């Protein structure tokens, strides 16, 4: 398998770890809100939930990436990535919230200049996340 294909699989593997952890995070957030009677604005809760047991898809990707044995550095890297992805998602949510509070929620009402600012800001946040995911995938394969 070529390096670029491996990096793509590694990125999918990292995202699968995030998805698995997010399922637990979402359930924990919902339960905490029910028990406290307080609904928070951020659906991400107070912090990341890190769950390192893999889904079926995660195990499939791990087998493709590490056919003989999963290296020792993988679990700590997954933990760090789930935590970093949580922070990046919070940055994205904060950008969206701040922009919408300043300019309204209806993008159809934005002027062309304002729409461009919105799209560029969102692209900046997404590009940072993509670059960091690629760097984490590189470390995963090291």
pLDDT at 53: 78
How does DSSP classify residue 43? T
pLDDT at 1: 83
pLDDT at 7: 97
Q: How many CB atoms are located within 10 Å of the residue 29 CB?
A: 20
Domain boundaries, the chain: 3-141
Q: Please provide the DSSP assignment of 66-99 as one string.
A: -SS---TTHHHHHHHHHHHHHHHHHHHHHHHHHH
pLDDT at 75: 93
Q: What predicted TM-score, i.e. pTM, was given to this entire model? A: 0.79
pLDDT at 54: 86
Alpha helical stretches, state H, the chain: 3-36, 56-65, 74-103, 112-141
pLDDT at 55: 87
Please answer whether residues 42 and 90 qualify as being in contact, where contact means their C-beta atoms are separated by less than 8 angstroms: yes
- 10-residue mean pLDDT profile of the chain (142 residues): values are 95 92 60 54 60 86 94 94 93 95 95 97 97 98 94
| CB-based burial, 60-92: b 16+ in 10 Å, e otherwise | ebbeebeeeeeeeebeebbbebbbbbbebbeeb
């Amino acid at each position: 398998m070529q390096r670029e294909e491996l990096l793509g699989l590694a990125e999918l593997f990292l995202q699968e770890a995030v998805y698995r952890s997010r399922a637990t995070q979402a359930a924990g957030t919902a339960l905490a809100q029910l028990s406290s009677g307080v609904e928070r604005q951020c659906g991400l809760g107070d912090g990341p939930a890190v769950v390192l047991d893999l889904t079926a898809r995660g195990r499939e990707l791990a087998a493709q990436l590490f056919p003989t044995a999963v290296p020792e550095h993988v679990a700590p890297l997954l933990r760090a990535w789930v935590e970093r992805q949580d922070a990046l998602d919070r940055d994205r949510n904060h950008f969206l919230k701040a922009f919408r509070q300043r300019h309204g929620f209806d993008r159809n009402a934005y002027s062309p200049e304002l729409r461009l600012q919105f799209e560029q800001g969102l692209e900046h946040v997404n590009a940072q996340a993509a670059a960091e995911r690629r760097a984490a995938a590189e470390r995963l394969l090291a």
